[in-house]
Every structure is written in C-alpha cells, then in structure tokens.
Amino acid sequence: MALPPPSAARKPLHRRAIQVEAFERDDGLFDLEARLTDTKPHVIELFGSPVAAGHPIHDMVLRVTVNASLDIVDVQVASLSVPVPGVCDAIAPAYAKLIGLNLLAGFRREAKALLGGTRGCTHLTELTGVLPTAALQAFGHRVRRTGQDDVSQPPFFVGQCHAYDRTGPVVQRHYPQWFVKAN
C-alpha cells in the first residue's frame, strides 16, 4: 500500500539513495556492495565551492566479502564523491576493522563500536547497518548459520521482527513448535 498523498504542497530538498547488491563469487564467497548517494535538486555552496543540482555530495560504496558462515573476510571502500576530498576519503582503511566480524552475531553493535564517531565516516558506517538483512535476503538460504541444524532452537528469525513474533499468526501457522500463546 502506498503512502497517502501529503496534506500540503511541498518541494524537494534532498535525496538520499541507499542501494545494496549481492553477488555470488566463483571462489565460493559472497560480496555485498552497499552504496549511499546524497544529491540536492538545486545548486548549493559547500566549503566555498558550488555543487551543481543533481551532482552527488556523497557517493560512497562499501563492499564486504563474506564466507558461507557470513564472516567478513575482506572489505573495500570507494569514496567517489565527498565534501572534502583527501580528508573524507582518508578514513577508508579503517573499515578493514570489519574483517573477522560475523554479520549475524552482534554486527551492528560491533561496527558502531569500531567505526562510530570520528573512528569512521558517518555515511560509510551507516551503510554497515543494512548489511545483515541484505545478506539474509540475498543468500540466507545458501549460508551456514551456527546452530541451524539444532532442532531444539527456533530459526534465527523467529522473534526478531513483527511478522515473526512468537505470539503471532505466522509463527503459529508455519512454526507451531515455537508459537507462544499471548497472555
């Protein structure tokens, strides 16, 4: 269902686009490429220089390579457009700190601890937040998750979102052994 029409006339001020693409590699690994692009529909002045309407203020790409357990084995960063070239893009090597983290084991918390604030770039670190769910959507059915064969534990997604609430109709119908009757 679409949003209802706005209640007042409005004009565009800013556009942020976040795009994630997933790839299966020939070497058995997987790549996730997340891209953040900020544009304005009008000319702005940024640090004394004009930025043309539609020209990216930020255009940044974060690629993580993961194994079949969703452990990060490599990270690449590209800053294609930044407000302060030579400064903003100098933080790219810090993202190697993500290597060794698992996308399903406290990843967002760990990424923020390692790269939050001045330890990283706000925009690149924001991109890390979309990686876990994008990975599951892309190739979750092809990866090994710790405990996935343990029938004494619910699937990892049960209890992790509204649709998979243990007291809800989806769990009751499709995962009845994990359904809990609401009080």
- What's the confidence (pLDDT) of residue 24? 95
- Each residue of 147-170: pLDDT tens digit? 455 677 777 778 878 888 899 888
- What's the confidence (pLDDT) of residue 159? 80
* φ, ψ of residue 124 in degrees (nearest 5): -65, -40
- What's the confidence (pLDDT) of residue 139? 80
- What's the confidence (pLDDT) of residue 140? 72
Go through the domains of the chain in sequence order and give each one's CATH number: 15-143 (3.90.1010), 147-183 (no CATH)
- What's the confidence (pLDDT) of residue 175? 87
Contact, 72 vs 64, CB < 8 A?
A: yes
- What's the confidence (pLDDT) of residue 53? 97
Those residues of the chain that have pLDDT short of 50 are 146-147
